[in-house]
Structure 1
Amino acid sequence: MELKVKASDESLQAVNDFIHSSLPAGCDMMVLNQIDLAVEEIFVNIAHYSGAEEADISCVFEYGGDDKGVLEVIFSDAGKPFDPLAKEDPDITLSAEERNIGGLGIFLTKKFMDSVEYEYSGGKNRLKFRKKIILP
């Protein structure tokens, strides 16, 4: 399944609805919240910083047997090249006052998803994440 949307905050709900439509009914709420956080972080970064007018999102849920499956989501945009995974993780041992602003969203995305990959090819940024899901 693929979705093409304007790269703006107003499109975030459509992106979330699109991804939710790929998930099995009864998906665990904690897992759903983790996916929502990752989707928001990645899409809002595209909307705010890439300079792209549109973003393409592809989403696949593959059943793997034994009450398990894997969600794969790929975000693609023709904005300026930027690898959010290249930035050093924030030092979460510091207090909020001591830490630099920003960076927690990608950090949490990397922690919550089973894999997160970035590539720039053919004039496009592509960020892919995968999340294993235990089915109800």
Structure 2
Amino acid sequence: MKELTVLAKTDNLDEIIQFVDNELESAECSMKIQMQVQLAVEEIFVNIANYAYTPEEGTATISVDRTEDGALLRIVFKDNGTPYDPLAKDDPDITLNAKDRSIGGLGIFITKKSMDNISYEYKDGQNVLTLEKRIVG
């Protein structure tokens, strides 16, 4: 498992994306999968950076690993910020016109649709959000 801890600031997004991209490239993932994973990683990290510690600052730890057979990529985000389960909110009604929808939730909705599995738990004083994506087969 590879792990990176950074200050939870949007300025560090490029470093996070590159960290995850290195694993995707070593797995020779398709461009479609790379784009889906990058979008999900950006959404989760930006949410942590913007909301987890406001107005204070804190860190986010991102770990990346693959199952033994290499077919499944797992990305885990951990932070010590305010407990928040982004999966608890109802999905936006995408059948409505954009101006008729309430603000927020679309990024998490897209993340849920593009990943094979996403889970959240609050454990040992940390938000732990896990993304899983089948990258082979």
User: Shared topology, TM-score over 0.5?
Assistant: yes
Match of 1:34 among 36, 41, 45: 36
Equivalent position amino acid for 2:20 in 1: I
Equivalent position amino acid for 2:64 in 1: C
Q: Among the aligned pairs, what percent are the same residue?
A: 48
Higher strand content, 1 or 2: 1
Partner Cα distance (1:80, 1:38) in 2: 21
Per-residue deviation, residues 71-107 of structure 1 (Å, max 9, x unmatched): 1000000000000000000000001111112111100
Q: Paired residue for 2:52? A: 50
Aligned length: 132
TM-score, with structure 1 as normaliser: 0.91
Partner Cα distance (1:119, 1:90) in 2: 22
Higher helix content, 1 or 2: 2
After TM superposition, give the deviation of residue 27 of structure 1 in Å. 1.8
After TM superposition, give the deviation of residue 25 of structure 1 in Å. 5.2
Which one is further off, 9-18 or 21-30?
A: 21-30
After TM superposition, give the deviation of residue 30 of structure 1 in Å. 1.3
Partner Cα distance (1:29, 1:9) in 2: 24
TM-score, with structure 2 as normaliser: 0.91
Give every structure 1 segment of 4 or more consecutive aligned residues whose post-TM-superposition deviation is greater than 6 Å.
none
- Counterpart check, 1:73 vs 2:75: yes
Q: Paired residue for 1:84? A: 86
Q: Which runs of 5+ in 2 are unaligned?
A: none
Q: Paired residue for 1:117? A: 119
Q: Which runs of 5+ in 1 are unaligned?
A: none
- What secondary structure does 2:111 align onto? helix
Partner Cα distance (2:21, 2:33) in 1: 12
Partner Cα distance (1:103, 1:8) in 2: 20
